[in-house]
């Protein structure tokens, strides 16, 4: 078996383990896939019948890759393995045993959309309000129950669960769960969660089946064991109970999927459930530099719930980890884009070598905009570009319609969103009338009484027109943000997404808030260039034009070579030469929702650990002093995780080398931040414009500004009296001035109209 020669001692120990429970703790970059693959190949080479080996993964791709590697080492026998995802393998078995559970052998497997459609019909039939009992949320609740092996009967008798539903205003969830299960069985269908729950029921209620499959699967191997949920582990324990030949590979420090039902308890409790287990630790990292490995070790030691290990590497010493802070999230995006450009030019990296990781999808906005401005191609990994997400396009459609109600595509998109009973039939009628009369559909809607439509439909359309017209009255009076925030609220888009507490719903709500944050920044942009320039237009129309210029060439910018943008959850299992981890701020990372329990906080720390260990050679970490949240500028505190990194092997960009990170992660003003805490209130107050009685516009004359210095008091014809805080010299010198009534602004001096007072 020549393949054993490729392994280090710890890997060999895991691969050649003879029999009995085996727990392989595989640190990041330690070659866990190779170990799992070679262990299966070793078992086959030792004479174990591949038909008696069960190997479970979490993705079909992983299973296919492993089977291919095994086949290279042991030949065609690898095709006889029972290998695949939990769901695919259990579905194969349930096809054979379905009749025992009252299902046909050719049962249908419902995907998520099928399940939601069934629930939608049940909710309607029961006469329940689908705005309260949203199929998406009800399905999520039922899925949680199934993955915890809670049957409809057990759910209905669980006081805590029933009280939770009642407190959330949804006391009928237990009833809907029972009806949904009954309907699925009537339809001869199982959803994905049923594949787990029903297989567990099969093993639990039919001893002959348990005995058969315990003997059939003499050896069981599990990949990514830390990601298993309650149902998956309960099944594995039953199957492995007879022979005890269970080999699991995972890393407790990379358990980050609690929101999907995964529980770190499974890997931490393995030794209790299998007391005769053998523990092998794969601690050599083949991926990262010593600086990155050391930082990861130092961070994860702050978790109390873990299996102790010390990751190490023999890789060549690399560059220090770089940490930098910026004044805002937009500046953070610009800094990241600049660094990518520099590394491409200086170190000859390609776009494929870079990854930008963030805690929430909403953070991609500032990164995308900065990359576009630098003309750097990028790709959103495992998701859509920010401006292509449905919720973003929905709100933008309302905003476009407000500016131009004759824009038919936007009108079509939102005329029935949120749902108001305007279906395809009504829209088709409007299109026919529009074509016949040669008028826009908006013109038709304004004369809806003239056409033969049902009274209810006509009234609904009239209300829709009135709503859009009310938005239009704000255009000349309010800035882009005020209009957009009002539209998001009045259309009920914000409320609808806020009420959806699923993971997907929370993400969509955060995305809408981030769009509004971007509009807020546009509305009160500080840099005043030529004061007669149309670039100073902060109207909604100007914003939409600006966004169109950023997003219009998106398809053309797509290429094989692209910077990868993704959430940290999506990055697990991947690696890149250069990694940027952005947004290391309290209440963002760690998330505000994780601060109530130690378990949640430790999962956030594991998530940061995963982010750090994606990097091979260069790691950049950033945080912003300010970030727009819910439309208002808020100061951000650096993440507590930054203080948990080691002092050695880290450099702060823009800070003296002698200073240690622990002394610098604070919100005090520094020379590089250019933002002073005392100016926050004036900055907010600038939206409330007060007249400057002291300005004599007729006799106002601007001074020569060649001698302007920080500390000078000045008078501006539009903004009134202010004090110069700083002057950034360069091709176009820019003065930062705190005005008494307008807040802080940055003004390009070659265009500025200022009188020096002192």
Q: State the Cα–Cα distance between residues 303 and 48, nearest whole angstrom.
A: 40
Catalytic residue among 11, 32, 309, 508: 32
- From the list 457, 451, 446, 447, the residue with the least C-alpha distance to 432 is 451
Burial class (CB in 10 A: 0-12, 13-18, 19+), 322: middle
Q: State the Cα–Cα distance between residues 655 and 666, nearest whole angstrom.
A: 13
- From the list 431, 443, 436, the residue with the least C-alpha distance to 406 is 443
Catalytic residue among 191, 194, 223, 585: 223
**Tokens of residue 66, six digits:** 């492993």
- From the list 156, 115, 155, the residue with the least C-alpha distance to 136 is 115
Task: Examine the residue annotation and report whether 164 is marked as an active-site residue of this protein.
Answer: no
Q: State the Cα–Cα distance between residues 538 and 101, nearest whole angstrom.
A: 64
Estimate to the nearest angstrom the gap between the alpha carbon of 747 and the chain centroid: 36
Catalytic residue among 97, 165, 194, 224: 224
Helix-strand-coil split of the chain, %, nearest 5? 50, 15, 35
Catalytic residue among 57, 254, 291, 326: 254
Catalytic residue among 614, 627, 640, 745: 614
Catalytic residue among 33, 232, 263, 326: 33
Strand arrangement, sheet containing 720-728? 527-528, 743-748, 734-739, 720-728, 713-716, 754-756
- From the list 399, 565, 597, 407, the residue with the least C-alpha distance to 480 is 399
Task: Examine the residue annotation and report whether 223 is marked as an active-site residue of this protein.
Answer: yes
CA dist 225 → 25, 39, 173, 679 (Å): 10, 16, 31, 51
Q: State the Cα–Cα distance between residues 232 and 57, nearest whole angstrom.
A: 11
CB atoms within 10 A of CB 668: 9
**Tokens of residue 237, six digits:** 């324990």
In the DSSP assignment, the letter for residue 591 is B
- From the list 629, 637, 670, the residue with the least C-alpha distance to 652 is 670
Task: Examine the residue annotation and report whether 276 is marked as an active-site residue of this protein.
Answer: no
**CB 734, CB 748: distance < 8 Å:** yes
CB atoms within 10 A of CB 253: 27
**CB 468, CB 401: distance < 8 Å:** yes
Task: Examine the residue annotation and report whether 33 is marked as an active-site residue of this protein.
Answer: yes
Q: State the Cα–Cα distance between residues 202 and 211, nearest whole angstrom.
A: 11
In the DSSP assignment, the letter for residue 304 is S
User: What residues are annotated to the active site?
Assistant: 32-33, 223-224, 254, 614
């Amino acid at each position: 078996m020549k393949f054993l020669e490729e392994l280090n001692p710890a890997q060999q120990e895991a691969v050649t383990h003879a029999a009995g429970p085996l727990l392989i703790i595989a640190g990041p970059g330690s070659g866990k896939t190779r170990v799992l693959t070679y262990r299966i190949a070793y078992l086959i080479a030792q004479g174990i019948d591949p038909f008696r080996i069960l190997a479970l993964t979490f993705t079909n791709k992983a299973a296919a890759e492993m089977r291919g590697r095994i086949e290279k080492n042991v030949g065609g026998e690898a095709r006889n393995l029972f290998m695949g995802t939990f769901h695919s393998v259990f579905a194969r078995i349930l096809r054979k045993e379905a009749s025992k559970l009252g299902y046909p052998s050719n049962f249908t497997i419902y995907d998520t959309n099928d399940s939601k459609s069934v629930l939608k019909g049940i909710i309607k039939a029961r006469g329940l309000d689908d705005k309260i009992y949203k199929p998406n949320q009800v399905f999520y609740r039922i899925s949680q129950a199934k993955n915890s092996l809670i049957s409809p009967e057990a759910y209905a008798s669980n006081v805590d669960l029933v009280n939770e539903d009642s407190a959330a205003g949804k006391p009928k969830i237990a009833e809907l769960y029972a009806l949904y299960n009954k309907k699925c069985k009537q339809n001869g269908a199982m959803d994905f969660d049923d594949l787990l729950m029903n297989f567990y029921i099969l093993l639990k209620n039919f001893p002959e089946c348990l005995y058969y499959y315990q003997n059939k699967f003499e050896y069981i191997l599990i990949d990514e064991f830390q990601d298993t949920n309650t149902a998956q582990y309960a099944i594995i324990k039953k199957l492995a109970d007879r022979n005890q030949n269970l080999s699991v590979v995972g890393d407790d420090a990379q358990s980050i999927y609690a929101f999907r039902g995964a529980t770190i308890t499974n890997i931490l409790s393995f030794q209790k459930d299998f007391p005769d287990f053998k523990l092998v630790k794969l601690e050599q990292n083949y991926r990262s530099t010593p600086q990155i490995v050391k930082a990861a070790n130092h961070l994860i030691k702050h978790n109390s719930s873990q299996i102790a290990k010390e990751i190490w590497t023999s890789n060549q010493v690399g560059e220090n980890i770089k940490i930098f802070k910026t004044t805002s999230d937009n500046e953070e995006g610009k800094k990241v884009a600049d660094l990518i450009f520099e590394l491409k030019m200086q170190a000859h990296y390609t776009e494929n070598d870079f990854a930008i990781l963030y805690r929430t999808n909403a953070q991609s906005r500032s990164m995308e905009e900065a990359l576009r401005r630098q003309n750097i191609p990028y790709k959103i990994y495992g998701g859509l570009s920010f401006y292509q997400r449905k919720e973003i396009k929905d709100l933008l459609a309302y905003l476009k319609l407000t500016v131009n109600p004759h824009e038919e595509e936007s009108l079509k998109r939102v005329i029935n969103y949120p749902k108001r009973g305007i279906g395809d039939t009504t829209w088709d009628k409007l299109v026919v009338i529009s074509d016949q009369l040669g008028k826009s559909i908006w013109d038709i809607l304004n004369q809806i009484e003239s056409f033969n439509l049902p009274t209810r439909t006509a009234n609904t359309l009239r209300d829709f027109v009135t709503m859009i017209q009310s938005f239009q009255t704000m255009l000349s009076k309010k800035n882009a943000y005020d209009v957009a925030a009002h539209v998001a609220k009045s259309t009920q888009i914000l409320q609808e997404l806020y009420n959806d507490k699923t993971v997907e719903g929370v993400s969509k709500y955060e995305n809408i808030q981030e769009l509004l944050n971007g509009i807020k920044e546009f509305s009160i942009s500080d840099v005043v260039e030529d004061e007669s320039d149309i670039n100073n237009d902060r109207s909604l129309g100007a914003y939409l034009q600006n966004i169109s210029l950023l997003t219009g060439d998106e398809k053309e910018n797509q290429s094989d070579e692209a910077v990868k943008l993704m959430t940290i959850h999506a990055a697990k299992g991947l690696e890149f030469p250069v990694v940027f981890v952005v947004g290391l701020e309290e209440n963002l990372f760690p998330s505000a929702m994780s601060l109530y329990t130690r378990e949640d906080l430790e999962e956030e720390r594991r998530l940061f650990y995963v982010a750090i260990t994606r990097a091979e050679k260069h790691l950049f970490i950033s945080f912003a002093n300010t970030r727009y949240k819910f439309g208002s500028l808020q100061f951000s505190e650096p993440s507590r995780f930054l203080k948990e990194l080691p002092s050695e092997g880290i450099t702060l960009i823009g800070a003296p080398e002698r200073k240690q990170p622990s002394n610098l992660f604070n919100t005090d003003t520094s020379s590089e931040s250019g933002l002073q805490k005392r100016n926050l209130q004036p900055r907010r107050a600038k939206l409330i414009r007060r007249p400057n009685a002291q300005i004599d516009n007729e006799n106002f004359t601007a001074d020569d500004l060649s001698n302007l210095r920080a500390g000078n008091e000045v008078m501006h014809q539009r903004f009134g009296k202010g004090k110069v805080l700083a002057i950034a010299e360069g091709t176009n010198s820019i003065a930062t001035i705190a005005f008494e009534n307008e807040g802080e602004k940055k003004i390009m001096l070659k265009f500025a109209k200022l009188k020096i007072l002192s």
